Structure 1
Amino acid sequence: MKKLLVLIQNDWIEYKNGPESLILKKYAKFSNKLTLMYFGIIWSTMTPFLTIPLVPLIFNIFVSQNNSIQRQHLYAQYEYVFDSDKNYYPVLIHSYIGSFAFINAVVAIDAMITMYIEHACALFSIIGYVKLLDNANSISYFFQLGIDIICLSFTGFQIATKIDNSPDAAMRFAAYSTSLLVVLYFLSYPGQQLIDHSLKICHNIYKANWYCTSLRTRKLLIFMAMRSSIPCQITAGKLYVMDITSFKLVVKTSISYVMVLLSVQE
């Protein structure tokens, strides 16, 4: 990660006064917009999941004990060391602090990776940067993708089983599933951009007036066209390509797992 930041810093210094700086600024602004949009969507989708446990606490203030609603935990609690009901408020506060820290950490990491990819789109002629970017994030993407598929399948199963008996719980899981889908899409969209930008080089070579150039230039353009016809990609463990097509495949796979779980339960 540090090496990527140093490369970005050097690029900004090198192109500080040239026309290339306008391209860098354009993609930097777009990356900033994506990050702000991602931050807003994540917190808006997670808000129902985080606020529903607070409803009984607020409601019980204004009603008698006989009409009170049972308190809910933010997450399922398993009593290993202490009774979570007796220590309800410390557990609830700890759950919220942990959730806020985790969500902000995920948003910050994903935003940084998006910044790297947008910079690669701006300076796509530097192929080595793209390779370094893929090597730096391939393993982390692999584990994150696997966890997201498992969580999507689990939350989808919970929604399907609780929608009739416990609508509030189903709503919380639906909000969480939406957040997972947003995370996956946010990671897939820049990857799709990178593929599109890499293929544009090949298309632009074909559209150019290459026949007006020298013989030596034409030979160089042939090699450029051959190399750029192979799209540069960000992968998860060198197995899964981070693009929109793969995003759709993950959603379909998760839905299939939910159907399997429901059939097993029946």
Structure 2
Amino acid sequence: MQSAVKHYYNINKILITKIGGWPTQNNFIKILLPTIITTVLFSQAFFEFVQLTRTWRSITQDCECLIVLLVLIIGGTKLFTIILSNKNIERLLSLIDYHWRIFTHSMEIQIMHDYAIRGRKITISYIFIIYTLMCFYLLIPVTPQLLNIIKPLNKSRPYKYLFDVDYGIDKEIYYYPILIYSYLTTVMNISILVVVDTSYMMFVQHACSLFAAIGHRLENITLDLNSKKNNQLINKDDLTDYIQYDKDDDIYHELVLVLWKHQLSIEYVCFLDSSFTMYSFKLIFLTIIITSFLGVQILSLLNHNKEEMIRYIAMCIGAFVHLFVLNYPGQRIIDYSTDIFHKAYNMLWYKMSRRSTQLLSILLHRCFVPCTLTAGKIYVLSMTNYASMVQACMSYFTAFSSFN
């Protein structure tokens, strides 16, 4: 597809192809893989819902089914975000490749290269952390069998299950098929989370590289002005005005390029925001509800089952990490787009020609309002609002606890 995308984002490409979301994949594969994944997730969600309707007593007693059901809904939401927004994903990838072709200055290329490599490291780190945590979670059902080998008792320890659901069959006789099915569901759900989150962070990382490259060009213009000041002190003949004019002309054309590239960067961020805004809104809402239920579950297990309580504490930490992953990229966009304003303001604008300062004023005016990523076009993703979401989780947790 695109040369820059293939070179720098090959890991993200491999991940997206595993769920059938890469734009250039075969259409049959793009239908087959999501269908298989959706079937597995939906079937587990169906069993959880049936279990919930059969045993409904109170929120505190049925938190586990609610939590698993909502987690599966989040997985489905992430999957359909990639599948249904396939044209938007293709457009974003095309824009990335286009940016690599027009940011041609050596330092711009170096900055974008550094940010792309950093994005690859973030992707690998995120994959490692999430799958490591998943492996520990998947060990929970087999701990009795492992303990029977390491430290046997007079009788076998009871079986443990990843999901406490009635599948309509004898759970002890079909223990291992049920366990494999539970593992398959969990791995698919976590894999979707990894694919979409890393893709989202990759797109945001590229936007940050664009703003960083533009900021560097602005700083270079300032350095050129300093060198011109020295030349003006030395040259006192008639050529001085001609030389100064040429340099002002160069600065003007450089600012025109900067404004054009800045506008392209803004358009990219706006399109990125429109592509993921409803996705972010749904996930924030569901994650807040899940975190509240997890708090209720932890409280109910506080004096009864410490082992299960630790499991839900780990899940709660994972939910807060997920909220962080949704909000932190938005904060980075705000920081990098605002940084353009400071770098433009710190230039030696009083040494420029009038038409150059007019261009600079346009840039300052546009940068005065930072670029943002939103959830549903009503909620700005930032670290300040992340703290507000944590407080909201605690409020909902208190409210749900009162329904006991």
Asked if Structure 1 and Structure 2 have the same fold, meaning a TM-score greater than 0.5 normalized by the shorter chain, the answer is yes
The offset of 1:208, in angstroms, is 1.0
Contact 1:46 1:175 in 2 (8 A): no
Q: Which sections of structure 2, spanning at least 5 residues, go unmatched? A: 1-88, 212-261
Quick one: which of 114, 134, 138 aligns to 1:26? 114
The offset of 1:22, in angstroms, is 0.4
The whole-number CA distance in structure 2 between the counterparts of 1:102 and 1:156 is 22
Quick one: which of 152, 156, 168 aligns to 1:63? 152
Q: TM-score, normalised by structure 2?
A: 0.61
The whole-number CA distance in structure 2 between the counterparts of 1:31 and 1:241 is 23
Distance 1:237 1:41, change over 3 A: same
Which amino acid counterpart does residue 343 of structure 2 have in structure 1?
Answer: N
- SS of equivalent residue, structure 1 residue 60: helix
1:215 aligned residue? 354
Quick one: which of 181, 184, 197 aligns to 2:336? 197
User: May I ask how many residue pairs the two structures share in their alignment?
Assistant: 263
- SS of equivalent residue, structure 1 residue 19: helix
Q: TM-score, normalised by structure 1?
A: 0.91
Residue correspondence of structure 1 range 17-56 to structure 2 within 5 A: 18-56=106-144
Quick one: which of 162, 168, 186 aligns to 2:307? 168
Q: Deviations over 1:138-193 (max 9, x none)?
A: 11111111111111111121111112201111111111112222222122222111
The offset of 1:216, in angstroms, is 1.8
Quick one: which of 227, 231, 247 aligns to 2:366? 227
Contact 2:159 2:172 in 1 (8 A): no
The whole-number CA distance in structure 1 between the counterparts of 2:199 and 2:287 is 19
1:152 matches 2:239: no
The whole-number CA distance in structure 2 between the counterparts of 1:15 and 1:198 is 17
Which amino acid counterpart does residue 202 of structure 1 have in structure 2?
Answer: F
Distance 1:200 1:45, change over 3 A: same
Quick one: which of 314, 320, 327 aligns to 1:181? 320
1:4 matches 2:4: no
Which amino acid counterpart does residue 129 of structure 1 have in structure 2?
Answer: Y
Q: Give 1 or 2 for the bigger CA radius of gyration.
A: 2
Which amino acid counterpart does residue 63 of structure 1 have in structure 2?
Answer: P
The whole-number CA distance in structure 1 between the counterparts of 2:287 and 2:117 is 28
The offset of 1:85, in angstroms, is 4.3
1:263 aligned residue? 402
The whole-number CA distance in structure 2 between the counterparts of 1:88 and 1:206 is 67
1:132 matches 2:219: no
1:101 aligned residue? 188
- SS of equivalent residue, structure 2 residue 184: helix
Contact 1:45 1:178 in 2 (8 A): no
The offset of 1:109, in angstroms, is 1.1
Q: Deviations over 1:51-92 (max 9, x none)?
A: 22211122234535x54332121022034x434444322111
The whole-number CA distance in structure 2 between the counterparts of 1:98 and 1:3 is 31
Moved over 4 A (4+): none
The whole-number CA distance in structure 2 between the counterparts of 1:45 and 1:177 is 13
Q: Which sections of structure 1, spanning at least 5 residues, go unmatched? A: none
The offset of 1:16, in angstroms, is 6.2
Q: Deviations over 1:187-231 (max 9, x none)?
A: 222211110011111111221111111222222222221211111
RMSD of aligned alpha carbons: 1.9
Which 10-residue stretch deviates more, 146-155 or 38-47?
A: 38-47
Contact 2:141 2:160 in 1 (8 A): yes
